[in-house]
């Protein structure tokens, strides 16, 4: 039976009216996203304009000058390279760690003690990098404990010795302190995944004479492999995020060379510099970063879907 | 081995013999995990040491300090007498209280509305998830907040926080698991959609709500980023931003010292660490009590899949 257009529209309107209170519930949330997430998209046009104080509309178009200039701006290429290198190091070292931690925790047969150490491991996740940067100064800085200990062994640990100012050490410090802060939190999802493994598999393996290593290798790991794959893809998808919070709170001019990432570079050029601020240029760098980020995330998303996992987009 | 970690009646009998059955493997495991726990704890203990050992003693010390050779609370006294710590505390409390209420209201409403098959909801959901994938970037966001005239107000640290999309999706998928019959019978009794949400759905989701209230509270408590961008005058600084400034320059506290009192001669580190410990105290106190909620993580949504 053919339903006329008018009837269709009437039905739709009736359905909308019947659900009117749900739309009222949607409204504040939608307003939030419209104002704070979608309105800034309008400002992206600054990437193609010379910013003047009169505002976004008043700024003249500049024929992609910012993008052509980008390669010549002395800080841009190092920042881009650092972002990728630091991200890569975080994935290589930081990604396996929570998995290892979860496997270890799961094997620990003292439930109460396990709970306690897990509580300890997760605690730093809830603190800000502002605070942790302070703690780091006290460990690695000029008057830090690491130096006090080093001075016992080598007189070279002189007055100026400061690991946080050390270009060779800085990236490693970023990676390991990030593991220190987040690994416990990261392990939670794997622990939940391990808890979901069918117990009869372990019993069967035990009957077949498998020892604990073998059980980890041939039961636990294969069972959580899909979860590991998903997490890995998501992690790689976020490769353009070098960890703004951590870097901006711990870096200093001596380590800009190895530690400056795109986000800190954009921030510094936009707000810290006292002269020659060019908001159009930093918008362009931001757009460059976000487009690559977007492409990576889309790829990650379709990969996870190809693995048969539900995705959110 | 397995049965021990499960809460079954069998565990009780086996528990006594746990240590007797400990193999070499178990001891190594125990050792590794304990050492890692110490690695996590040491920086905090070190911060405490630095804050209570007089600076003259600390500076001259060589090697690892495990116990305070001398104790003085001068740094804390100094920190507490600085007015900016207290305005920081006040601002952070305001931001946390106001922010969490705002965050939870928006998140719960949106998450609940998304469980209903209303026309357009798929489009809305797509538009919202899209914001996780692409954003305008720092400068357009900054100019927007500036054009809304939120600069240099506490609102700049509350309003932009709005909704965490991950939290919202987890809450929404949890609502979806609640039996539909409960809502239907409430509706037959003449309950409106809002009162169904508040009287039926939310009371059934209390542990979940507690978890996410806590996560939002921690996020707001740790606020410093928006302050760095938008808070000009020190009277609008939240605690973490005050702390950030102190960590970068301990002399900053002296500038905000209560007039009429001479600043004592304490050097930077102790002051920095006393401020750090003061700022972390509430989380430190709540964390062990509420660890059940803290440790849930985002697995609430993930486990079901």
Whether residue A267 sits in one domain with residue A136: yes
At A76, the pLDDT band (50, 70, 90 cuts) reads very high
Please tell me whether residues A212 and A294 are part of one structural domain. Answer: yes
* A153 and A210, same domain (yes or no): yes
- For A22, the closest of B25, B34, B113 (CB atoms) is B113
Say yes or no: A105 and A197 in one domain: yes
DSSP secondary structure code for residue B236 in this structure: G
Top mean-pLDDT range of A225-234, B4-13, B34-43: B34-43
Q: Which pLDDT band holds residue B17 (cuts at 50, 70, 90)? A: low
Q: Delineate the domains of chain B, giving CATH numbers in brackets.
A: 22-72 (no CATH), 81-302 (1.10.3720.10)
Q: Does A291 score more than 50 pLDDT?
A: yes
Q: Do A192 and B302 touch (CB under 8 A)?
A: yes
- Residue A167 domain-assigned? yes
Domain count across chain A: 2
Place of tokens 């908001």: A279
Q: Are residues A9 and A100 in the same domain?
A: no
Residue A178 belongs to domain spanning: 65-306
Which 3-state string (H, E, C) describes B74-127? HHHHHHHHEHHHHHHHHHHHHHHHHHHHHHHHHHHHHHHHCCCCCCCHHHHHHH
Q: Of A111, A282, A287, which is closest to B5 when you measure between CB atoms?
A: A111
- Looking at the structure, do residues A239 and A131 belong to the same domain, yes or no? yes
Q: Do A28 and B106 touch (CB under 8 A)?
A: yes
Q: What digits encode the pLDDT tens for the residues B211-226?
A: 999 999 999 999 999 9
- DSSP-assigned letter for residue A45: G
Together in a domain, A144 and A237:
yes
- The Cα–Cα gap between B96 and B65 comes to 37
- Same domain for A21 and A113, yes or no, is no
Greatest distance between any 2 Cα atoms in chain B: 77
| pTM > 0.80: yes or no | yes
Pair (A167, A220) in one structural domain: yes
CATH number at residue A238: 1.10.3720.10
Q: Looking at the complex, does the CB of residue A41 fall below 8 Å from at least one CB of chain B?
A: yes
Q: Is the per-residue pLDDT at B23 higher than 90?
A: no
What rounded mean pLDDT belongs to chain B? 84
pLDDT digits (tens, 9 = 90+) for A87-134: 999 999 999 999 999 999 998 888 899 999 999 999 999 999 999 999
pLDDT more than 90, % of chain B = 48
The DSSP code for A55 is B
Q: Which of A121-125, A173-177, B11-15, B285-289 has the lowest mean pLDDT?
A: B11-15
Q: Alpha helices of A167-278 — where are they, by DSSP H?
A: 167-195, 199-207, 212-215, 221-237, 244-250, 256-259, 262-267
User: Is A58 a member of any domain?
Assistant: no
CB atoms within 10 A of CB A89: 16
Residues A32 and A155 grouped into a single domain: no
* Phi-psi sector, B238: left (phi>0), alpha (psi -120 to 50), beta: beta
* Element housing B225 (H / E): helix B225-230
CB contact under 8 A, B131 and A136: no
Rg value, chain B, Cα: 25
Verify that A10 and A106 share a domain, yes or no. no
Asked, for residue A38, whether it belongs to a domain, the answer is yes
Residues A245 and A107 in one domain: yes
**Residue A276, pLDDT score:** 72
Q: Which of B136, B222, B228, B301 to mutate to test the interface with A (most CBs of A within 10 A)?
A: B136
- Say what the ipTM of the complex is: 0.90
**pLDDT of B303 strictly over 70:** no
Within a domain: A59: no
């Amino acid at each position: 039976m053919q339903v006329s257009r008018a009837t269709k529209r009437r039905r739709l309107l009736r359905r909308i009216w019947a659900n009117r209170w749900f739309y009222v519930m949607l409204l504040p949330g939608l307003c939030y996203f419209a104002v704070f997430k979608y309105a800034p998209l309008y400002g992206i046009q600054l990437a193609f304009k010379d910013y003047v104080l009169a505002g976004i509309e008043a700024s003249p178009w500049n024929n992609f000058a910012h993008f052509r200039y980008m390669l010549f701006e002395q800080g841009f290429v190092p920042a881009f390279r650092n972002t990728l290198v630091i991200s890569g190091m975080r994935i290589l070292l930081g990604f396996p760690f929570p998995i290892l931690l979860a496997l270890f925790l799961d094997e620990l047969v003292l439930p109460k003690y396990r709970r306690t150490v897990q509580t300890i491991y997760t605690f730093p996740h809830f603190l800000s990098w502002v605070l942790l940067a302070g703690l780091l100064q006290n460990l690695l800085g000029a008057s830090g404990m690491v130096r006090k200990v080093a001075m016992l062994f080598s007189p070279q640990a002189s007055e100026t010795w400061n690991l946080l100012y050390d270009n060779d050490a800085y990236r490693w410090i970023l990676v390991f302190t990030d593991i220190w802060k987040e690994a416990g939190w990261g392990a939670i999802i794997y622990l939940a995944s391990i808890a979901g493994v069918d117990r009869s598999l372990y019993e069967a393996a035990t009957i077949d004479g498998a020892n604990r290593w073998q059980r980890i290798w041939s039961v636990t790991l294969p069972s959580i492999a899909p979860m590991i794959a998903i997490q890995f893809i998501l992690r790689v998808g976020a490769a353009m995020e070098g960890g703004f919070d951590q870097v901006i709170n711990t870096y200093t001019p001596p380590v800009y060379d190895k530690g400056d990432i795109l986000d800190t570079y954009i921030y510094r050029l936009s707000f810290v510099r006292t002269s020659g601020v060019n908001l159009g240029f930093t918008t362009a760098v931001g757009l460059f970063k976000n487009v690559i980020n977007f492409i990576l995330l889309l790829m990650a998303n379709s990969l996870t879907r190809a693995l048969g996992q539900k995705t959110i987009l | 081995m397995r049965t021990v970690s499960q809460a079954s009646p069998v565990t009780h009998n086996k528990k006594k013999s746990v240590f007797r059955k400990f193999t070499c493997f178990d001891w190594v495991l125990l050792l590794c995990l304990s050492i890692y726990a110490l690695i996590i704890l040491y920086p905090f203990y070190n911060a405490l040491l630095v804050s209570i050992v007089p600076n003259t003693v600390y500076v001259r010390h060589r090697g690892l300090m495990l116990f305070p050779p001398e104790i003085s609370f001068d740094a804390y006294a100094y920190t507490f007498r600085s007015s900016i710590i207290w305005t920081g505390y006040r601002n952070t409390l305001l931001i946390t209280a106001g922010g969490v209420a705002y965050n939870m209201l928006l998140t719960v409403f949106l998450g609940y509305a998304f469980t209903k098959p209303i026309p357009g909801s798929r489009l809305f959901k797509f538009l919202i998830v899209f914001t996780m994938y692409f954003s305008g970037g720092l400068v357009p966001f900054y100019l927007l907040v500036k054009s809304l005239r939120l600069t240099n107000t506490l609102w700049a640290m509350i309003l932009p926080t709005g909704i965490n999309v991950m939290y919202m999706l987890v809450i929404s998928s949890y609502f979806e698991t609640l039996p539909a019959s409960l809502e239907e019978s409430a509706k037959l009794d003449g309950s409106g959609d809002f009162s169904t949400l508040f009287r039926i759905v939310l009371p059934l989701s209390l542990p979940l709500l507690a978890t996410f209230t806590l996560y939002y509270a921690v996020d707001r408590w740790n606020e410093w980023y928006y302050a760095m961008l938008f808070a000009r005058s020190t009277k609008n600084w939240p605690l973490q931003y005050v702390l950030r400034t102190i960590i970068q320059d301990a002399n900053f506290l002296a500038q905000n010292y209560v007039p009429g009192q001479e600043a004592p001669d304490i050097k930077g580190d102790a002051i920095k660490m006393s401020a750090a410990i003061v700022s972390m105290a509430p989380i430190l106190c709540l964390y062990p009590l509420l660890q059940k909620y803290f440790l849930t993580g985002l697995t609430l949504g993930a486990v079901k899949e």
